[in-house]
Amino acid sequence: MSERASVAVVGSGPGGAVAACVLAEAGRDVILVEEGPGLGQQSCRPFSIEEMTQKYRHGGVTAALGPCPVAYVEGCAVGGGSEVNSALYHRAPAARLEEWARRFAVEGLGEKDLAPHFEALEAELSVLRDSTEVHPAGRKLAAGAASLGLECRQAPRMARPGPGPLHRLAMSDTYIPRALKAGCRLLDQTRVERLQRRGRGWVLKARTLGPLFEIEADQVFLACGAIQTPALLRRSGLAPRAGATLAIHPMAKLVAQFPEEVNGPDLGVAAQQVKPPHGRWSFGCSISSPQNLALNLLDYPEPLSRLARDWRRMASFYVMVPGSGRGEVGLLPGCPDPLVRYALSPEELRGLDDGLQELARLLQAAGAERVFAAPAAGPDARLTTLHLMASCPMGEHGGLCAADSFGRVRGSEGLRLADASLFCGPLGVNPQGTVMALSRRNALAFLKGGPEE
C-alpha cells in the first residue's frame, strides 16, 4: 500500500484543518493524515467519559513530569482538539505578538499582519462575540466578580446559536468538510512514525492497522500539536532543537457548591472569564460533568461520596496563570510515546496559590456554601493544562528557532509547521484562534511562493 500527493498535512486539528482547506481550495492535491478516528461531534455526549475514551489520546491520562506533575490532554480524532474543547476563540494579544517579533526576529507577525487572517476566520466560522445563552455557573462567576470590583466577560466562541445550548463548531463541522469537497483525501486512524527525505520530496512512514506503508509528498505540513510535532521531528532525526522550549498555561481547579442548582446534563461549559488587570491569573468555568467533578473532588471523600445527590448544585472553576516555567519534549528508546517534562517557576506556583484563594473568595461572594480546592503545589498537586505550545518556535533567530517566520523547518526544504508548536512562548489566552490564523497565513505564503515550493 502506498499513497501519493503534492502536499501531505499531518494532523487534522485547527492548524492542520485550516492548512488542508486553504491548499485544497487553491487546487493543490492534498492528503490529510490523522492518527485518531473520524467520529464527529454527534458520536457521544460532549464532555463525557465516552468522549474522553473516543477522542483523547490515551483517554486523557497523560502528564508532564516534574516536581509538580501537570496533567495535560491532547485530542486524537479527526478535528483534533477542536472536537473536545469549548470552542473558545481569542485573537492573539498585540503586546504578545510584538514581544515575540522583537525577541525572536519574527517577520510579518504584527497585529496588522494577522488581522486579515483573524477577520477571515471569524467570518467563515461565524464567531459569536455575544450570546444570549444563560449558564448558571457563568452567572455565579460574573456575580462574584462584580462583588469584588472585577470585570467578567464572555469569551467569543465558534458556535451556532439555536434553541437550548449552543452547538460548538469543530473542524469536523467546518474546514475539514470544505477541504474534502475541494478534493482533499483523508486518511484517519493513520499514525505517521517518521519522515524521510527522498529526492526533492518526502516520504512519510505511516501505519494504519497493519505494517508500515509510505505516503509520498512534495511538501509536508506538520500540525500534530506541541507534543507530537517535535516528537515526530526528533524520531525522524530532524530539527535537533525541537521540543526544547515547551510552554504551557498551568491551571488549578476548585469545586464550589451552591444552595441552588447550577449544573445539568446538557449545559456544557460557560464562556465567562475574569481577567484581573494585574495579569497574574485569570478565572473561568470548567467542565462540570459528574465524572469531572469526581476527579476534582478526589481529595475530599465526604463530598465525593455525596456527588450523585449533590452534583447539580456543584460546578468546577479554574485559575490559570501565564506560563513562565520551562518544559521539554523528549524521546525514550523503544517507547512510542514522548517523555514530557515541565518545571513550574516560583512565579507560577505563587500565582496558582494566590489565585485559588482569590477565586474561592469570589465564589463565596457569589453565594457558594462550600469550596473544595485541590492542592496546587508539591508532588500531590492536581495541576492541569489544556494549552500546550512553543516547542518549535518560529523566527529568524537561528539559535532559538526551529522554524523560520513562516513555519519552514530549518535545514528541511519542503517541511513546514502549522500548529501551536510555532509559538514563541505562552500566549496568555486560549490559543485556538491564533493557531488557525498562523496556519492560514503560512499556507497562503506557501501558495504565493509558486508550485516549485
pLDDT of residue 451: 46
Note whether 220 and 193 are same-domain residues: yes
- Three-class SS of residue 247? strand
What does DSSP say about strands 339-343 and 282-285: parallel, antiparallel, or unpaired?
unpaired
Note whether 380 and 399 are same-domain residues: no
List of E strands, 65-168:
70-72, 152-154, 159-160, 167-168
Question: For the CA atoms of 358, 270, 60, 215, what is the dihedral angle to 10 degrees?
Answer: -130
Q: Which listed residue (117, 135, 249, 387) is catalytic? A: 387
* 210 neighbors 320 (Cβ within 8 angstroms): no
For cell 455557573, name the residue. 137
**pLDDT (tens digit, 9 = 90+) per residue, 282-315?**
999 999 999 899 999 999 999 999 999 999 999 9
C-alpha of 273 from chain center = 17
Measured between alpha carbons, how far is residue 447 from residues 19, 405, 406 in Å?
A: 11, 15, 12
Of 385, 402, 422, the domain-final residue: 385
| DSSP H or E run through 248 | strand 247-248
Measured distance CA(263)–CA(250) in Å, rounded: 25
- DSSP for 193-215 reads EEEEEETTEEEEEEESSSS-EEE
Note whether 366 and 308 are same-domain residues: yes
Residue 108 belongs to some domain of the structure: yes
pLDDT of residue 212: 92
Q: What is the span of the domain harbouring residue 1?
A: 1-40+77-87+90-126+170-246+388-453
User: Roughly what angle, to the nearest 10 degrees, separates helices 94-104 and 111-125?
Assistant: 130
Which three cell numbers mark 115?
A: 488581522
Note whether 372 and 392 are same-domain residues: no
Note whether 151 and 215 are same-domain residues: no
Measured distance CA(204)–CA(220) in Å, rounded: 9
Note whether 402 and 367 are same-domain residues: no
Note whether 29 and 4 are same-domain residues: yes
Residue 53 belongs to some domain of the structure: no
Put simply, whether the predicted model's pTM sits higher than 0.85 gets the answer: yes
Measured distance CA(59)–CA(75) in Å, rounded: 9
**pLDDT (tens digit, 9 = 90+) per residue, 320-376?**
999 999 999 999 988 989 999 999 999 999 999 999 999 999 999 999 999 999 877
Residue 359 belongs to some domain of the structure: yes
90 is catalytic: no
**pLDDT (tens digit, 9 = 90+) per residue, 377-399?**
777 788 999 999 999 999 999 88
